[in-house]
Amino acid sequence: MKSDVKKQVPDNTFAFEEIVSIIKHARENAFRAVNRELISMYWEIGHYISEKVTSGSWGKSVVQEFSRFVQSHFEGIKGFSPQNIWRMKQFYETYEGNEKLSPLVREISWTNNILIMMAAKSDEEREFYLLLSSKNNYSKRELERQIDSGLYERTMISVEKNQMFLSRNTGLTALRDSYVLEFLDVPEHHKEKELRKAIISNLRDFILEFGRDFTFVGEEYRVQVGNTDFNIDLLFYNRELSCLVAIELKIGRFKPEHLGQLEFYLEALDRDVRKPNENPSVGLILCARKDDEVVEYALSRSMSPALIAEYQTHLPQKSLLENKLRELRELAEGLEDDEGEFE
């Protein structure tokens, strides 16, 4: 009889999970509210010190005295070292009058604000990392990694180089022209299987590089066409784009026939795997090397939502990325000027 009573007791797990979700959401909102107040306080202090320094009233000795004064009045208070107080001044002066960026700085932590302020060289780059950090709730380590890998430069280079293909299919905007996989720790001369296994073993870092909206579906994902089985190296799902993303790994140089293989997989996914409410599948060929002209020829007549990207197993030199981005922008400006002459 007792066993029958137990069976009749409702399972409240789902209800409890909903309540836990409410608690987590409330805690996140509370943290964000406290963080906004903290950043606003640093902003106001930075504003005050900026005016004092500009007028000549304050210098290094006064800031050191102010630091000791605050710490003596608020026992255990952190963040008021002389170095951090000077950063408050720099913080205010960096974003003063910028109505677009000043609200964004209040959405991320002070630590991440310092990282962006010290690393970014333009308002455009600052906006990129502010939005990215806020959207993905990056930790300090995660944001440092993205900055060190030149994510901003790589993303802008990708947009410049692939703008024709990106405009043709909005699903491709989630993909880039190059990826940095330094965390894989694969030997210099590796096999595709080694690369794939290393990615699976480091899936968290791989998704950090590709974007938090990617969720892993399967390795060597099997699709059947007719009586033949085919295996897609890696299959992901992108939540923002609501579509499957097939990734093919190539340890050598990109060849045009690789695109035909990927297009075949995308057709199989759309016919047999994609759900009615999902968008058409997107594909990426991740190769060790590629010739941009060969890529342009291969993609020019392809109607499939696919891109070809290079991967590196070491962190790139940011100076080289900056030079490449500048060259591409100068080339684009030159082409626009040439077109204007013939209008």
Please report the DSSP string for 143-186 in residue order. Answer: HHHHHHTTHHHHHHHHHHHHHHHHHH-GGGGG--SEEE-GGG--
Instruction: Give the model's pLDDT for residue 5.
Output: 47
d(C-alpha 320, C-alpha 326), whole Å = 10
Q: Is residue 4 included in any domain, yes or no?
A: no
The confidence score (pLDDT) of residue 207 equals: 95
What pLDDT, on a 0 to 100 scale, did the predictor assign at position 1?
A: 45
pLDDT the model gives residue 55: 92
pLDDT digits (tens, 9 = 90+) for 80-133: 999 999 999 999 999 999 999 999 999 999 999 999 999 999 999 999 999 999
For the stretch 211-253, pLDDT in tens is: 989 999 999 999 999 999 999 999 999 999 999 999 999 999 9
| Other C-beta atoms lying within 10 Å of the C-beta of residue 12 | 10
Q: What is the pLDDT of residue 162?
A: 78
Nearest to 154 by CA among 309, 299, 305, 307: 309
Q: Are residues 169 and 285 in the same domain?
A: yes
Could you give the residue ranges of the DSSP H alpha helices within 56-122? 60-73, 82-95, 110-119
Residue 299's CATH number: 3.40.1350.10
pLDDT at residue number 82: 93
pTM attached to this predicted model: 0.82
Q: Note down the domain range covering 272.
A: 151-331
Give exposure, 111-121, as e/b (b: 16+ Cβ within 10 Å): ebbebbbebbe
Question: What span, in angstroms and rounded, lies between the C-alpha atoms of 283 and 287?
Answer: 13
Task: Examine the domain organization and report whether 197 and 327 are in the same domain.
Answer: yes
Residues 113 and 43 in one domain: yes
Q: Does residue 174 belong to any structural domain of this protein?
A: yes
What residues of the chain score a pLDDT lower than 50? 1-3, 5-6, 342
Which residues have CB under 8 Å from 219's CB, separation 6+? 196, 200, 233, 234, 235
Under a CB-based contact definition with an 8 Å cutoff, are residues 277 and 264 in contact?
Answer: no
Same structural domain, 69 and 125: yes
195 and 303 inside one domain: yes
- What 3-state class would DSSP assign to 299? helix
What pLDDT score does 220 carry?
A: 97
User: Do residues 142 and 169 share a domain?
Assistant: no
d(CA 37, CA 31): 10
Domain assignment of residue 95, yes or no? yes
Q: Does 223 lie in the same domain as 131?
A: no
C-beta separation of 225 from 232 below 8 A: no
**Does residue 283 form part of some domain?**
yes
What are the structure tokens assigned to 234, written together?
Answer: 């890696």
- Whether residue 240 lies inside any domain: the answer is yes
Q: How many domains does the chain have?
A: 2
The secondary element (H helix, E strand) that includes residue 269 is helix 256-272
At residue 304, the pLDDT reads 87
99 and 51 belong to one structural domain: yes
State how far Cα 133 lies from the chain centre: 8
**Same domain for 168 and 93:** no
Nearest to 296 by CA among 259, 327, 261: 259
**Counting Cβ atoms within 10 Å, is residue 146 exposed (0-12), middle (13-18) or buried (19+)?**
buried
